[in-house]
Structure 1
Amino acid sequence: MEVDKNNFEEYLPKIEESISKADFVAIDTEFTGLNLNNETKNSLFDTIEERYNKHRRSVQQFTISQIGISAFVKENERYVAHSYNMYLFPASFGPVDVRFMVQASSYEFQRRYDFDFNKYVYSGISFMNEEQEKQVKTFIKRKEITAGVERDVDENLVQDVCSEVAEWYSRAAVGDSHTVLKNDGTRKLKYNYVFENEIKNRYGDVWTSTDNDRNIVVTKITHEEKAERENKQKADSSELFNSLIGFRRVFLALVKHQKPLIGHNMLLDLLLIFDKFHKPLPAHYKDFQEEIHRIFPLIIDTKSIATHLIKKKLDLRFNSTLGGLYHVFRSAAGQNFVIHSPVIAHGEDFTIYSNETYLPHEAGYDAYMCGYCFLRMCHILTFSDVKSTEVVPCTFSRYLNEIKPFHNKINMIRASINSLDLSGSSKEPQRPLVFVQSKTASFQLSAYKLAKEFSKFGTVDIKLQSKSRALVATGNIYCARDLVKFYKNDKRMSVHHYSKWRHSPYSKPALWTGVILSGGLCLWALWSSKKNNT
């Protein structure tokens, strides 16, 4: 189901119902950029805090252009997917006027998959986070919208409308009404709010309203009647406010129901969702980790599960990309790899994806694929080591129990560890390091040349310590082992497994300092002992 600002209010109750009934909710986002600059690119040397700060800097500058939500509801022993594809565009109102960057490569990528940029800009659902919501509430409450601040409307049109009201007001009787600004279909709801407040503030005994066609109607009333209406009227202008916070209302439904949240390689998705719909990302990873775990207690990354299944070397041949997983698990071999695999279908009202058209990198479709693969992998993990005679249709609670090792484990791309744990400390072993040292003064190390030469053994990142020393971070133990073995007798450079005590530039000075201090203490003790004896 495709949702934009024109039908969002109509479909919001259905979206909330889908979330409330779901066993789990799969998500996916598309965004306007990935890396802010070269300094924010991923590195195998990155610690969790370093990676978080890199992503934080990027997320603060980019925004979400499309989000997909696929709620999987158990109905009659099958999982029915309620998939929503939603274009988003940041709200602009009063003090909230979001500025964001666009990365050309990201737009080129989206264009390749027929992303509708017109729909994104013209029909994107508004959104804001909690901090921006508070700013708008204060702005509306204080009526600063008409207090001489800069307004995103045609001021000449405001003056023309007020002049028309003044002419009508001079001859109108109490009870008379007049339509002053007919809706041409392009005017935003917030503009009506500006005009209505301007008219009410300029003319004492009038009341404004919006008819069914969104035209502004001015009615002349008595001073007493106006005071009575104002006393009864709520000050929050809920229709305007709800239209501005937009998708944040869906986010709040996700937080309220706290269903298991599923994504694929989802660290950046989580950071974007947090920053754009919840609160600005905190300065430190620990604060983010605690808060994201509070609002979403159970998050599962299908990338982590897929990586584990690849290591198990199943007969199913697949890679860990979402598209690669889906094609394999969608095949007859994938569905029947373990008997009694769960039946997965699209809901009756969700027909866009039911014709089996492959729509990669459309957020709603990616969210559906993620949920689909998640169920297939849950079933395989639960029963792959069980005799076929003992395999039975499975409850979702059992699936969750079987995949406990993957609860809140989020995949880390090209970092010092493979994954982080949102529910506690991430105590994974560090990726293996290799130490390189040139054997002759004539052979000077170059990060570019080393990376080019070593990359044939696997994924590597280079950190030069000097022209003769370098540290190499490798993607896995096999790459490190092969590098050490291959360059064992190399005449240009020595390559060894990294040892902090042997190869750290700070270890030897620290060691000699310790030797000198301990030696000095020993000499002082001997001297004191000899002195006392004499």
Structure 2
Amino acid sequence: MIRQWLLWAVPKTLTLVRRYRPFSSSSSGGGVVMKRVTRANFESALEGLRAQVQEADFVAIDLEMTGVTSAPWRECFEFDRADVRYLKVKDSAEKFAVVQIGVCPFRWDPSRGSFLAYPHNFFIFPRKELPFDGPSHEFLCQTTSMNFLAKYQFDFNTCIHEGISYLSRVQEAEALNKLSSAYENELTNSINTSGENLEIPIVSTADLLFTERIKNKFHEWRNRITESSCAECYVKEKTEHVMTQFQTIFFKMRPAVTLNGFNSHQMKLIQLVLRKHFKDLVFIHAQGEEVMLERKVVYTDSEEDKALLMREVLEDLHRSKEARVRSAVGFRHVIDFLVSEQKLIVGHNCLLDIAHVYSKFFGPLPSSMMEFALSIHENFPNIVDTKHLLNSSHVLQYLMKKNSKSLSSAFSLLCPEASSDSPKSAHSYVKFEVQTDETGLSNWTSGAKHEAGYDAFMTGCVFAQACAHLGIKFDLDSPLTNLATNDKLQGYINHLYPSWNSGTVIDLSTGFEKAESNYKRKYPTVLFSKVVLIWGFPSKFKPKDLKDCISKVFGAGSVTSIFFLDYTASLVQFSKEEYVNDFLMLKDILERNDNDPISVLHPLAELLDGGNTHAADYDTYRQICSAPASKVLFADQAEAAGIRWKTLAGCQNSEAWEATSMNGSSTFTGVRSHELPNTHQVSCEDILDSLYAAR
């Protein structure tokens, strides 16, 4: 079957065309020509990318982040349930920053018989662009990730100083709502009708002299306005050399002066003078050049004219602030038109990338995997994970043999002509041409591995080559049909790995996980109802010690597997579900009778030594993972999550737990096992029996 399939692929040479720039796949570092995008050239790059995406057959993406896991125990393990795995992905996307995004549209050109690739490397930085946008952004940096970026010559200076900022959809909506509310309030309070009752706060003799002088100047200026035409007034001022602070201008077809050279205290005095002595003069903040606000005094001939002026000024300011919000959207414009174009999106092991896209550009991540998956599917209806493609296709598995399924390994093996790390081959199936233009040559660089733009290019090449191996034909002089609807890809679209060791894939169209048939588990299949969480035990305990300790009580075959989260916590899977409750009940009784000779001699006494050992069912593990803190040690995380009790048996209501922790209660003690009704109570006789069994 495999040999027959291999004959279907049409051999083609894989090459990279050097256009206008002296870069090629064979150059040092194996780079290709790649557009480097910062905030300086973002607008122009955006327009070009928009046209390229519209014509693309698929778009490959890749992200570089400041970290992956906020604590060692937040790594994804085989013992993690689907909801726990999502909580860990969610935590990572919420706490770390994206510093680079690669976007590479690919278009099949039948006249050339090749894919045209347009790799873009965007530097991203969550800069605070709006003065009314709350506090500055904060994010974590993981030392291993930062060292990894530095190892591959990541340009941190460009990222920080020239990175493109962004607002999520939710942040933009909140900013616009704040502006609308502020606009309505300002409009309501724009005219102060109680000016006649205002008193000038005389702080010093200088204030007294200043207010009298400014009052006289405004009297003179208003008299010139009312006694002659504005044009005559303007000429008169020029010939008489009137002080520059009171030269007449026109603002919205009304006589006005721009206030320059006054400090903030003097400005307050001017406003008070105007309100008390001049009902027809209005102090305003008007939008000047660029983003600067200019302070002006405008003459109005009636109360109605004054109200109209204030409305016009406030509308101008509101429109200006709205424009600033729209401008602050930044890189999200790229995400928005990727969504609007509904193109096939290709990533490699990309669930975390997609979670970052949601967190940074859509809004806060949903609380459940299903809600997240369905929302992503609504925005990006077709996503392919090349890691899943390589692992699940028998044809591709045969080609990869036992090679790593990492992106660089797959690229070297499947696309040797584009990789300087592998020997050239005459058996490639797809040709690629990297496209540039003649404008802005300083913005083009030679990309290399672990730059987001280059990794996106590699991802797209691997996908196109994989499509050829799956039997999808790229014919000369024939346009490419929609890949998202191709029958040969239907088993791979919208299936993403939640983690490399989960043994499952997530179907974004349904939100459910399903088992991956060819995954080889390191541990026995986990039945979560049989799992108990233990933390805070003595640091000398090793997995074998813990297993021996428990097996002495429940029997040699009672413990199926043990997984240490770190040296302070472990997940233990029992062979029988009832052992979970028996263990928790027994632990609680032993601790309540810790001075009893029987308890001291019990095999579990060594585990409970020190009085800090806690235990609960698997749901408590999920609850601790959902807490926002990220302490290095799991035992510290449990304490930060507000857990004070030592043993929790039975089924606790998770909503109640979350409500309690959200209320900030530091006295939450949980439900102790002796307070829970249970038909399987452990008595002192049971303790004695377990002692005899231990012998």
| Alpha-carbon displacement from aligned partner over 1:4-32 (angstroms, at most 9, x marks no partner) | 22222333222222222211111111112
The secondary structure found in structure 2 opposite 1:29 is strand
Aligned to 2:578: 506
Which of 1 and 2 has higher RCO (CA within 8 Å, sep 6+)?
Answer: 2
- Native 8 Å contact 1:306 1:320 kept in 2: yes
Residue 362 of structure 1: which of 451, 454, 459 is its match?
451
Cα shift at 1:232: 6.5
Distance, in Å, in 2 between the alignment partners of 1:360 and 1:179 is 57
Question: 2:316 aligned with 1:236, yes or no?
Answer: no
1: CA distance between counterparts of 2:141 and 2:295? 43
Larger Rg: 2
Structure 1 residue 326: Cα displacement = 1.9
Query: Superposed, which structure 2 residues align to 1:29-428 within 5 Å?
Result: 29-75=63-109, 76=111, 77-92=113-128, 93=130, 94-97=132-135, 98-143=137-182, 171-175=246-250, 204-205=282-283, 208-211=286-289, 221-223=298-300, 224=305, 226-227=309-310, 229-230=312-313, 233=316, 235-237=318-320, 238-308=322-392, 312-314=397-399, 318-332=403-417, 336-337=426-427, 339=429, 341-348=430-437, 357=446, 359-382=448-471, 392-393=475-476, 396-397=480-481, 399-400=483-484, 401=486, 402-424=488-510, 425-428=512-515
Return closer, same or farther for 1:369/1:351 CA change in 2, 3 Å cut-off. Answer: farther
Q: Structure 1: how far apart are the matches of 2:368 and 2:293? A: 49
8 Å CA contact 1:129–1:280 kept in 2: the answer is no
Q: Is the 8 A contact 1:33 1:103 kept in 2?
A: yes
Q: How many aligned residue pairs are there?
A: 424
> How far does residue 59 in structure 1 lie from its aligned partner after superposition?
1.8
Residue 348 (structure 1) shift: 3.1
1-structure distance, mates of 2:458, 2:248: 64
SS at match of 2:434: strand
Give the Cα separation in 2 of the matches to 1:222 and 1:118.
50
* Contact preservation (8 Å) 1:32, 1:64: yes
**TM-score computed with the length of structure 2 as normaliser:** 0.53
**Letter of the structure 2 residue corresponding to residue 250 of structure 1:** V
Q: Where in structure 1 are there 5+ consecutive unaligned residues?
A: 148-162, 182-197, 384-389, 437-445, 452-461, 475-499, 511-516, 518-534
Q: 1:396 to 1:463 in 2, by over 3 A?
A: farther
Q: Partners of 2:506 and 2:433 in 1: how far apart? A: 30
- Contact 1:344 / 1:372 at 8 angstroms: preserved in 2? no
TM-score (norm 1): 0.68
Superposed, 1:422-501 pairs within 5 Å as 422-424=508-510, 425-428=512-515, 432=521, 433-434=523-524, 466=550, 469-472=558-561
- Secondary structure of the residue aligned to 1:65 is strand
Amino-acid identity (%):
23
Q: Distance in 1 between matches of 2:525 and 2:164?
A: 52
**What SS does structure 1 have at the residue aligned with 2:118?**
strand
Residues 300 and 409, structure 1, Cα contact 8 Å, conserved in 2: yes
Where 2:346 maps in the other structure, the secondary structure is: strand
List alignment gaps of at least 5 residues for structure 2: 1-34, 187-209, 218-242, 251-255, 262-267, 275-281, 418-422, 527-539, 564-572, 583-678, 680-695
What displacement does 1:234 show?
7.4
The offset of 1:229, in angstroms, is 4.2
Change (3 A) 1:211 1:379: same
Tell me which amino acid in the other structure corresponds to 2:147: E
Task: Pick closer, same or farther for the CA change 1:120–1:435 going to 2, 3 Å.
Answer: closer
C-alpha contact (below 8 Å) 1:325/1:373 kept by paired residues: yes
Assess if the C-alpha contact under 8 Å between 2:559 and 2:575 holds in 1: no
Deviation at 1:345, TM superposition (A): 2.9
AA aligned to 1:138 is N
> Which of 33, 45, 48 matches 1:14?
48
- Distance, in Å, in 2 between the alignment partners of 1:86 and 1:420 is 28
- 1:71 alignment partner, SS class: strand
Q: Deviation digits for residues 91-114 of structure 1, max 9, x if unmatched?
A: 423244322222222111111111
Residue identity in the other structure for 2:97: T
Give the Cα–Cα distance (whole angstroms) in 1 for the partners of residues 547 and 80 of structure 2: 12
Separation (CA, whole Å) in 2 of partners of 1:391 and 1:139: 52
Give, in whole Å, the separation in 2 of the partners of 1:286 and 1:119.
Answer: 37
How far, CA to CA, are the matches of 1:9 and 1:258 in structure 2? 22
Give the letter aligned to residue 174 of structure 1: I
Residue type of the alignment partner of 2:414? F
**What is the distance in 1 between the residues matched to 2:125 and 2:100?**
8
Give RMSD over aligned pairs: 4.3
Matched to 2:578, the amino acid is Y
Cα contact 1:434–1:473 (8 A) shared by 2 = no
SS at match of 2:399: coil
How many angstroms does 1:428 deviate by? 1.7
For 2:347 and 2:249, locate their aligned partners in 1 and report how far apart those are by CA, in whole Å: 60
